Amino acid sequence: MADLDEIEQRLIAYIEASQAARTVLTELHGLELTGLDIQSALAETLNIPENPPHGLLDQGLTSSRIVGLLRSFDFRKFHPEVLGEVTLDEPLIPSHLPRLLTEKTVKIKGEVWQVHKNDADPFPSNPHAHNYDASVVLDLGTGEMYDRNRKSLGPIGCKKLLRLRGELSSFALPPTDCT
C-alpha cells in the first residue's frame, strides 16, 4: 500500500489539476461547475466508482487531460434548467393522494429535525424524525424520543408532537393518539 505522503501528493496534484480544468470547463460550457461536478463527470467518463472517490487519484490526471476528457461532457444533467415555477392559491392535486417524501427539514426554535423517505431503519416509526445535533430520533406517532442505542428518552408531549406533525402535514404520518 502507498504511504500517506504519496497519497497526499497524488491528492494535491489531482486537486490542482481539477481546479485548473474546472476554470477552463466552466468557460467552455458556460456553467458554473463545481469540484464535485468535475469529479462526478470524470468518474462517469472513466467508469470509476465515485465511492470511494480515490480511484481518480490513480489516473495521474493533468488539467489538460481532464479538459480533453470532459470537453464534450454534458454537464447540464448536474445543473438542470428550471423552465418555470408556479405557485397556486388552490391545489390541483386531490388531498387524498399521498405526497412524495424525499426529505423534509423542519426547524423549531433552533432545533433542526429531518425526515427522510425510505429510511434504511424504520425504527421507531415510519417515517420518523432525526435530530442529528442531539443524536436522537423521534417516533412521529407516539412522540417517544430515543438515543442512538434505541434507549427511550421519554415522550415530548402531545402539544410539541402536534406542532412538529403540523409542519409535516403534506405526507402520510403514522397514527397518533394526540388530539
Residues 9 and 74 in one domain: yes
- The total of other beta-carbon atoms located within 10 Å of residue 38's CB is 26
Of 45, 78, 111, at which residue does a domain stop?
78
Residues 74 and 112 in one domain: no
- Cβ-proximal residues to 127 (8 Å cutoff; 6+ apart), any chain: 101, 115, 116, 117, 119, 140, 171, 173, 174
Instruction: Note whether residue 91 is domain-resident.
Output: no
Instruction: Note whether residue 148 is domain-resident.
Output: yes
Q: Residue 173: what pLDDT? A: 87
Instruction: Note whether residue 98 is domain-resident.
Output: no
Q: What does pTM read for this prediction? A: 0.46
Task: Please state the domain count of the chain.
Answer: 2
The answer to whether 22 and 36 are in contact (CB under 8 A) is no
Instruction: Note whether residue 110 is domain-resident.
Output: yes
Distance CA 77, CA 96 (A): 33
- Domain span at 137: 103-167
Mean pLDDT of the chain, nearest integer? 80
Instruction: Note whether residue 13 is domain-resident.
Output: yes
Residues 51 and 15 in one domain: yes
Q: Residue 1: what pLDDT? A: 47
Overall average pLDDT of the 81-96 stretch: 56
Instruction: Note whether residue 143 is domain-resident.
Output: yes
Mind listing the pLDDT tens digit for each residue in 72-81? 999 988 876 6
pLDDT at 111 over 60: yes
Mind listing the pLDDT tens digit for each residue in 33-43? 988 899 989 98
Of 43, 63, 78, at which residue does a domain stop?
78
Instruction: Note whether residue 173 is domain-resident.
Output: no
Instruction: Note whether residue 19 is domain-resident.
Output: yes
Residues 126 and 72 in one domain: no
Residues 55 and 117 in one domain: no
Residues 8 and 44 in one domain: yes
Q: Residue 51: what pLDDT? A: 57
